């Protein structure tokens, strides 16, 4: 079964992202599930845990979660609790919740009230990148380490953590290399293929993920038939996408997804951890300051336009380097973090002449079809 | 046929509650006056006394867009602002107060920062800066950041750590939280000094803090008195009298006002005078009220004898800071940090006892239902305030499982009156009476105290 390689292997893992973790568990490994991009996978790995990103399921109607969460919350996090209540993550040895946004925070709490695992930790992530916040976050990471160590069956060592930092930095650099292949026109990797790879590497051990990435890079670098040229080259910004039903719909409408700034995409991989003498220092800075997500407040800088550059310049750079001619704002309904940001990011792109399509979607494959005409119109518009 | 005009506001049962509205008006008027005199004014989120007192001690007048949102809703003038914010791309699912504030700010900008003549309550003047806060909800800082867009003024976000229950009890954890908050407050003072060119008046700050503690102690004592049967004051009283303790606790007038509230409530308790004529059921209310239709609670009282004995955890003053936490603390910033942290975590032992998370919005009710002899919980899930809604289902489950207290769910909104169905609320409450009777019996059989 594991003879599949590269994109085919990614497609296989994507179909049942937790399968590899369940296999490893059967072999005696410990599995840690975590929410969002803020709990450092390096710490889990250094303590012998296999970290896996907890995902929702756009195909699964939300039924169980209704008894625990109101319908007015982000459907991605509702879906996460729903599939968890249905037993999908029952095999976890550790659950790491995080205060990424209100949704993530409250679901972390409610998850812990009903679903018990041998180890459980709620990681408080400060709201800003202030110096005191980074120091506080570093302390939090040490508590996370202490808590995981209690059940890991192995002792923590700085050396193992340094190794883990190297391992994941390598993964990040491979991810960046893969995305770079999409700078050309037509791009070499479709948005759906990219998403399958991203989901896969978040759900298997880092070494396996790195091999998978190397295979994919080699495969697509030599391919003759990639996604082909479509009407527009777009960047996706906003709430995460973890299901290819969404990317396929966009691509079917005549758009190449060449780059993204979303949480199951570049946002989780774009920047490295500095190899500092105290590895917790590098981790705290990377996760709290260097990851650029609108959930982290950055102090107002100078004039309004200087401030906007301080917050969003990386998007301008991405748009230029990947030569995009349109941006899709993917907003999962009730996602406040991205919701409040819409007018500013929209104006920021439109000021540099890049049109924007904003869609609030319901994180459900059955609710996608009505969006088709809007993507088609956007493709016509920018094509 | 004669049409009976529906009353939207509540008559309130306390005399002091009827007078409390003046504080809200005073906040706005003082801010406008300060602006006219060229003094610095800032817009602030409710931050549980973390930064507001500090800003005032350096001489900044504050007004509160959140309270302004509730005010616009209460006078039913929020809709145009909501529309105006949505019209600029802000999703209609975001916080109603936020959309009200964003819509207002957009209009203010278009009017060259001259307050529009028709602004409800006289309006808020342009601020020197915006004071956001990390407590409770993302809106509290993301909303303010997005408002900066219309005004080109800096935004400061006060950090507020959000702890898990098990983590709270980890060795050293709490002190690390306090240390972090204190450092953040110090940076805030630096920010203020740089922005205003003034020096912090530490004596003024200590004095304000002292007044705050006194005002809050009285507010807390009023809460304790409300445990009495019959209930001496109800939810609609509380939502009026909370304005001074939430926004102006460091103000001498607020302190004097609370002395009067306390005396009024104490008199009613001593003489067994109930807030409502014929109290039959005692309910709790979670969490934010339908500001536009508060009169409905008077109707529930008249029709069914329902007294809302306790409500809205987040708006209540905490119990006084324990002596052990104050001992040897001379830095007012540390006192502030400890006090605010105490507000959010004083019910953590209750949460631990019940093996549940989170403390905020949830654990206090587990204690309250017993302390206030509650027959049922009125859950008010809000269309646009998710943070106060997220845990309501969870809370219902917990109250039923641990305390055999049932709940009724009536959906609505703080600002948007279009989503609140009064008739439906009445029908649901009518049916709920029987449920409360039923669970009274069950609690009796199972040996609960109430
Ligand atoms: S989509 Fe928004 S609300 Fe949902 S997890 Fe992401 S940031 Fe949070
Ligand atoms: S708690 Fe709710 S109503 Fe208050 S600012 Fe936050 S989202 Fe808005």
Can you give the pLDDT at residue B384?
A: 83
User: For residue range B11-43, what is the model confidence (pLDDT) as tens digits?
Assistant: 899 999 999 989 999 999 999 999 999 999 999
Which of A80, A240, A331 best tests ligand 1's pocket when mutated (most atoms within 8 Å of CB)? A240
User: For residue range B196-246, what is the model confidence (pLDDT) as tens digits?
Assistant: 999 999 999 999 999 999 999 999 999 999 999 999 999 999 999 999 999
User: For residue range B81-126, what is the model confidence (pLDDT) as tens digits?
Assistant: 999 999 999 999 999 999 999 999 999 999 999 999 999 999 999 9
Q: Across chain B, what does the average pLDDT equal?
A: 95
**Closest Cβ–Cβ partner in A70, A127, A360 for B159:** A127
The answer as to whether B1 is a domain residue is no
User: For residue range B4-19, what is the model confidence (pLDDT) as tens digits?
Assistant: 445 678 889 999 999 9
Can you give the pLDDT at residue A97?
A: 98
Touching A: B residues 334-393, CB under 8 Å: 355-358, 381-384, 386-387, 389-393
In the numeric block, the tokens 């808020």 are attached to B124
Can you give the pLDDT at residue B5?
A: 46
Cα B322 to Cα A327, B44, B217, B325: the distances in Å are 54, 28, 12, 5
Whose alpha carbon is nearest atom 3 of ligand 1? A335
Cα A30 to Cα A121, A144, A149, A200, B193: the distances in Å are 15, 16, 12, 18, 51
Closest Cα of chain B to A109: distance in Å? 5
Cβ neighbours of residue B110 under 8 Å, at least 6 residues apart?
Answer: none
- Between CA A107 and CA A84 the distance in angstroms is 11
Q: Inspect the interface and report whether the beta carbons of A334 and B167 lie closer than 8 Å.
A: no
**Closest Cβ–Cβ partner in B159, B358, B386 for A72:** B386
Can you give the pLDDT at residue B165?
A: 98
From the CA of A85, how far away is ligand 1's center (Å)? 20
Contact B416, B386 (CB under 8 A): no
What number does the ligand 2 atom closest to the CA of B97 have? 8
| Strands, E assignment, B10-52 | 41-44
The answer as to whether B256 is a domain residue is yes
ipTM of model: 0.96
The CA-based angle B179-B180-B185, given to 5 degrees, is 100
- Between CA A68 and CA A62 the distance in angstroms is 11
Which of B73, B91, B139, B414 best tests ligand 2's pocket when mutated (most atoms within 8 Å of CB)? B139
Using a 6 Å cutoff on CB, does residue A103 contact ligand 1? yes
Contact B293, B417 (CB under 8 A): yes
Reading across the β-sheet that carries A119-123, which strands appear in turn?
Answer: A49-53, A30-34, A94-98, A119-123
Q: Which of A375, A316, A26 is nearest to A191 (CA)?
A: A375
Closest Cα of chain A to B407: distance in Å? 13
Nearest CA in chain A to B361: A106
Average pLDDT over every residue of B322-349: 97
User: For residue range B339-354, what is the model confidence (pLDDT) as tens digits?
Assistant: 999 999 999 999 999 9
From the CA of A101, how far away is ligand 1's center (Å)? 6
pLDDT above 60 for B1: no
Can you give the pLDDT at residue A304?
A: 85
Q: Which residues, in sequence order, are bridge partners of residue A361? A: A332
Interface contact B180, partner A, CB < 8 A: yes
Interface contact B92, partner A, CB < 8 A: no
The answer as to whether B402 is a domain residue is yes
Contact A240, A262 (CB under 8 A): yes
Cβ neighbours of residue A383 under 8 Å, at least 6 residues apart?
Answer: A231, A232, A254
Cβ neighbours of residue A197 under 8 Å, at least 6 residues apart?
Answer: A7, A10, A178, A189, A212, A213, A216
Q: Inspect the interface and report whether the beta carbons of B393 and A133 lie closer than 8 Å.
A: no
Range of the domain at B41: 15-445
User: For residue range B251-266, what is the model confidence (pLDDT) as tens digits?
Assistant: 999 999 999 999 999 9
**Closest Cβ–Cβ partner in A68, A139, A336 for B394:** A68
Residues with CB under 6 A from ligand 2: B 66, 95, 97-98, 136-137, 139-140, 385, 387-388, 414
Using a 6 Å cutoff on CB, does residue A239 contact ligand 1? yes
Q: Which helix (H) or strand (E) holds B56?
A: helix B52-57
Contacts A73 to B, Cβ<8 Å? 386, 389-390
What number does the ligand 1 atom closest to the CA of A240 have? 1
- Between CA A70 and CA B389 the distance in angstroms is 7
pTM, rounded to two decimals = 0.96
pLDDT > 90 fraction of chain B, expressed in percent and rounded: 91
What are the tokens at A90? 């029952």
Whose alpha carbon is nearest atom 2 of ligand 2? B385
Contact B125, B29 (CB under 8 A): no
From the CA of A105, how far away is ligand 1's center (Å)? 10
Nearest CA in chain B to A107: B390
Q: Per-block average pLDDT, block size 10, for chain A (383 residues)?
A: 88 98 98 98 98 98 95 94 98 98 96 96 98 98 98 96 98 98 97 98 98 98 91 97 98 98 97 97 98 96 90 97 98 96 95 97 95 98 92
Can you give the pLDDT at residue B128?
A: 97
- Between CA A179 and CA A266 the distance in angstroms is 8
pLDDT > 70 fraction of chain B, expressed in percent and rounded: 98
The answer as to whether B7 is a domain residue is no
User: For residue range B49-78, what is the model confidence (pLDDT) as tens digits?
Assistant: 999 999 999 999 999 999 999 899 889 899
The answer as to whether B5 is a domain residue is no
Q: Which of B208, B247, B241, B205 is nearest to B223 (CA)?
A: B241
Closest Cα of chain A to B217: distance in Å? 30
From the CA of B381, how far away is ligand 1's center (Å)? 19
Q: Which helix (H) or strand (E) holds B130?
A: strand B129-133
Can you give the pLDDT at residue B7?
A: 62
pLDDT above 50 for B3: no
Can you give the pLDDT at residue B383?
A: 85
Can you give the pLDDT at residue A230?
A: 94
Q: How confident is the model at residue B139 (pLDDT cuts 50, 70, 90)?
A: very high
Can you give the pLDDT at residue B2?
A: 39
**Closest Cβ–Cβ partner in B93, B389, B397 for A339:** B93
Q: Give chain B's domain count.
A: 1
Using a 6 Å cutoff on CB, does residue A332 contact ligand 1? yes
Q: How confident is the model at residue B386 (pLDDT cuts 50, 70, 90)?
A: confident
Using a 6 Å cutoff on CB, does residue A77 contact ligand 1? yes
The answer as to whether B166 is a domain residue is yes
The answer as to whether B277 is a domain residue is yes
Residue of higher predicted confidence among B218 and B384: B218
The answer as to whether B129 is a domain residue is yes
Q: Which of A333, A330, A332 is nearest to A345 (CA)?
A: A330
Whose alpha carbon is nearest atom 3 of ligand 2? B385
């Amino acid at each position: 079964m594991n003879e599949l390689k590269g994109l085919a292997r990614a497609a296989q893992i994507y179909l049942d992202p937790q399968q590899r973790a369940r296999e490893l568990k059967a072999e005696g490994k410990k599995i840690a599930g975590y929410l969002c991009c803020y709990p450092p996978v390096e710490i889990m790995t250094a303590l012998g845990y296999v970290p896996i990103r907890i995902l929702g399921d756009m195909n699964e109607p939300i039924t169980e979660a209704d008894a625990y969460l109101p319908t007015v919350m982000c459907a991605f996090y509702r879906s996460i609790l729903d599939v968890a209540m249905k037993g999908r993550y029952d095999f976890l040895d550790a659950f790491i919740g995080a205060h990424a946004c209100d949704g993530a925070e409250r679901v972390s709490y409610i998850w812990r009230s009903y679903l018990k695992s041998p180890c459980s930790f709620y990681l408080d992530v400060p709201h800003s990148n202030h110096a005191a916040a980074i120091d506080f976050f570093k302390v939090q990471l040490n508590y996370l380490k202490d808590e995981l160590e209690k059940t890991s069956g192995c002792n923590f060592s700085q050396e193992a953590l340094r190794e883990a930092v190297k391992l994941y930095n390598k993964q990040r650099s491979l991810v960046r290399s893969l995305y770079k292949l999409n700078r050309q026109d037509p791009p070499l990797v479709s948005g759906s293929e990219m998403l399958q790879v991203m989901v896969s590497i978040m759900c298997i051990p880092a070494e396996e993920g790195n091999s998978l990435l190397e295979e994919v890079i080699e495969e697509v670098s030599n391919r003759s038939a990639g996604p082909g040229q479509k009407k527009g080259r777009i960047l996706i910004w906003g709430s995460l996408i973890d299901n290819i039903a969404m990317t396929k719909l966009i691509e079917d409408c005549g758009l190449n997804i060449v780059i993204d700034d979303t949480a199951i995409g570049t946002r989780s991989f774009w920047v490295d951890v500095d190899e500092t003498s105290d590895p917790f220092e590098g981790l705290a800075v990377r996760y709290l300051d260097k990851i650029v997500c609108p959930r982290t407040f950055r102090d107002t800088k100078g004039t309004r336009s200087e401030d906007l550059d301080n917050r969003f310049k990386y998007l301008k750079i991405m748009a230029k380097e990947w030569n995009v001619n349109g941006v899709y704002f993917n907003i999962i309904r009730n996602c406040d973090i991205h919701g409040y940001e819409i007018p500013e990011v929209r104006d920021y792109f439109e000021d540099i002449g890049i049109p924007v399509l904003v869609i609030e979607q319901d994180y459900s494959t059955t609710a996608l079809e009505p969006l088709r005409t809007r993507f088609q119109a956007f493709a016509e518009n920018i094509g | 046929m004669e049409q009976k005009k529906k009353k939207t506001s509540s008559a309130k049962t306390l005399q002091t509650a009827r007078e409390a509205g003046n504080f809200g008006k005073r906040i706005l008027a003082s801010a406008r006056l300060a602006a006219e005199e060229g003094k610095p004014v800032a817009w602030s989120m409710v931050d549980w006394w973390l930064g507001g007192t500090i800003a005032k001690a350096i001489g900044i007048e504050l007004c509160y867009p959140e309270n302004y949102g509730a005010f616009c809703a209460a006078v039913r003038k929020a809709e145009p602002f909501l529309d105006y914010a949505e019209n600029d791309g802000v999703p209609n699912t975001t916080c109603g107060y936020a959309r009200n504030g964003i819509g207002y700010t957009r209009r203010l900008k278009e009017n060259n920062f001259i307050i529009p003549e028709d602004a409800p309550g006289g309006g808020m003047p342009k601020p020197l800066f915006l004071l956001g806060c990390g407590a409770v909800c993302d809106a509290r800082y993301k909303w303010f950041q997005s408002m900066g867009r219309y005004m080109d003024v800096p935004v400061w976000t006060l950090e507020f750590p959000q702890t898990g229950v098990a983590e709270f009890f980890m060795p050293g954890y709490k002190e690390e939280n306090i240390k972090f908050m204190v450092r953040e407050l110090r940076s805030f003072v630096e920010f203020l000094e740089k922005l205003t060119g003034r020096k912090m008046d530490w004596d003024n700050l200590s004095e304000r803090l002292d007044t705050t503690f006194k005002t809050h102690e009285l507010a807390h004592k009023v809460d304790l008195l409300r445990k009495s049967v019959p209930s001496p004051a109800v939810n609609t009283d509380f939502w009026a009298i909370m304005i001074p303790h939430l926004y102006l606790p460091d103000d001498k007038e607020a302190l004097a006002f609370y002395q009067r509230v306390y005396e009024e409530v104490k008199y009613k308790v001593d003489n067994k005078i109930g807030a409502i004529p014929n109290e039959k059921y005692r309910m709790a209310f979670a969490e934010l009220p339908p500001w536009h239709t508060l009169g409905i609670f008077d109707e529930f009282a008249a029709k069914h004898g329902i007294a809302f004995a306790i409500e809205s955890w987040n708006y209540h003053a905490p119990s006084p800071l324990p002596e052990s936490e104050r001992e040897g603390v001379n830095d007012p910033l540390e006192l502030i940090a400890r006090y605010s942290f105490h507000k959010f975590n004083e019910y953590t032992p209750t949460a631990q006892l019940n093996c549940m998370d989170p403390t905020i919005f949830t654990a206090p009710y587990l204690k309250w239902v017993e302390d206030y002899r509650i027959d049922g919980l009125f859950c008010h899930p809000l269309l646009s305030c998710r943070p106060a809604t997220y845990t309501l289902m969870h809370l219902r489950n917990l109250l039923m499982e641990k305390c055999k207290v049932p709940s009724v769910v009536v959906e609505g909104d703080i600002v948007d009156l279009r989503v609140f169905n009064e008739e439906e609320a009445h029908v649901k409450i009518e049916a709920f009476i029987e449920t409360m009777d039923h669970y009274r019996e069950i609690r009796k059989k199972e040996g609960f105290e109430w």
